[in-house]
Amino acid sequence: MPENLTPSEEDLGLESKSYRMTKELEYNNEVIFDNDEIRLVLPEKPLVAPEEGVHVRVEPKEAQKPYFDPEAKIGESLETFKSALAAARSVFGSQEQGDNYFWSQWVNVHLVPRFGGQNQLQVEVIGRNARGETWAQPVDYPEGEEYQKNPIVREEIEMIKREMLQNNRDIDNEISNEPIFNNEDYSGEPDEKTIYTFQNYEVRMARENPHVNEGGLHLWVHANTKEDEKYEGVQSGLRHGIEQFIIASAVAKSVYQELGVPIEIHFSGNWGLPVRGHWKENLSAHANLYGAPSSEEGAKLPPRPGFERPTIPEETRQKARQALEVNMAKYLNEFVGANLNQLL
């Protein structure tokens, strides 16, 4: 990963000017979008400062078991994840939005058990300021009451509401009879990090330099594709997103069932397509899965790049590999050849 992750204004094609406007509102759990399936909420305790981005929360209207619960049905949470993709596209915005565009180049889509997920599914969507200090950095989950309390610009929220209406329509148009997990032309060669393969996907766990604190787990879903590399990310199309979410959920269930570790699922990456220059290497928003050390409430991700990272013991890798070999098939086989319009 390049040392300088923050794109220049020239990269972004934007002029340098203030984006702040006059009308603001507080993060106070206000519902800013509502349909039959979900609410889009401004959480009372946002995870990013307004000058660094925007945080919205996707809440399903019907309570769902957390995705890592072995008894939870993956299919039941697909509708919520579809809405999370629409929300992520909405906080990304578009180049036509002018100055609003700059804060949403990098989007984090997180399913984190400690924020409601132990009892019900919810998804955190955070758009990151491409000119800010936290662009391409992990989301900082503060402890206690150390949350941002600053207001957010109302015009930006109005933009998200408009984008949600359009993106929901666009995603509905992407739902078709196209079967998922139907490509058996496996085009990649597993490397030493790979602990499980399924069709054109690999589940990987690093031996060294995981992006998690000592004693934690870090796995990720890697897509092997003959298409241009930008299309392996979940932001490129509904089918790619659904397939990666299904695999990530199956991994989370398998690890929890055998190791007892609640898994956080993070889809984090650059949603600014197309891109220019050095930051194109951060194009893919793929599924990262993190398990916290037993002594910590949740996974704490060190900032990147340039930090001292631990090693995941080989024993832990083998336990995770065995957990996937024992459990993954029963979670995945029901989706092979299923059509999107049957699932959503």
Q: Are 74 and 101 in contact (CB under 8 A)?
A: no
Q: How many CA atoms lie within 13 A of 24 on its CB side?
A: 13
The token duo for 20 is 């702040």
Q: In order of start, what are the domains of the chain with their CATH numbers?
A: 9-343 (3.30.428.10)
For residues 57 and 111, give the distance between their C-alpha atoms in angstroms, rounded to a whole number. 10
Cα-Cα-Cα-Cα torsion 239, 241, 243, 249, nearest 10 degrees, comes to -150
For residues 332 and 243, give the distance between their C-alpha atoms in angstroms, rounded to a whole number. 10
Q: Are 123 and 148 in contact (CB under 8 A)?
A: no
pLDDT for 50 equals 77
pLDDT for 100 equals 44
b or e along 260-272 (b: 16 or more beta carbons within 10 Å of the residue's beta carbon)? Answer: ebbbbbbbbbbbb
Would the CA dihedral through 46, 48, 49, 55 be positive or negative? negative
pLDDT by residue for the chain (344 residues), tens only, comes to 334 455 554 444 443 333 344 466 677 888 999 999 999 998 888 888 877 888 899 999 888 887 888 888 898 889 999 999 999 888 876 555 444 444 456 788 888 866 655 567 789 999 887 777 777 778 877 665 566 666 777 777 888 888 899 889 988 888 888 889 876 666 667 778 899 999 888 999 977 777 787 778 899 998 876 555 544 567 767 888 899 999 999 999 999 999 988 899 999 877 764 444 434 444 567 899 998 877 777 777 776 555 566 788 889 899 999 999 999 999 999 999 899 888 88
pLDDT for 262 equals 87
φ, ψ of residue 100 to 5 degrees: the values are -60, -25
For residues 259 and 289, give the distance between their C-alpha atoms in angstroms, rounded to a whole number. 14
pLDDT for 253 equals 95
For residues 45 and 255, give the distance between their C-alpha atoms in angstroms, rounded to a whole number. 30
3-class secondary structure per residue, 119-137? CCCCEEEEEECCCCCCCCC
pTM of the model: 0.85
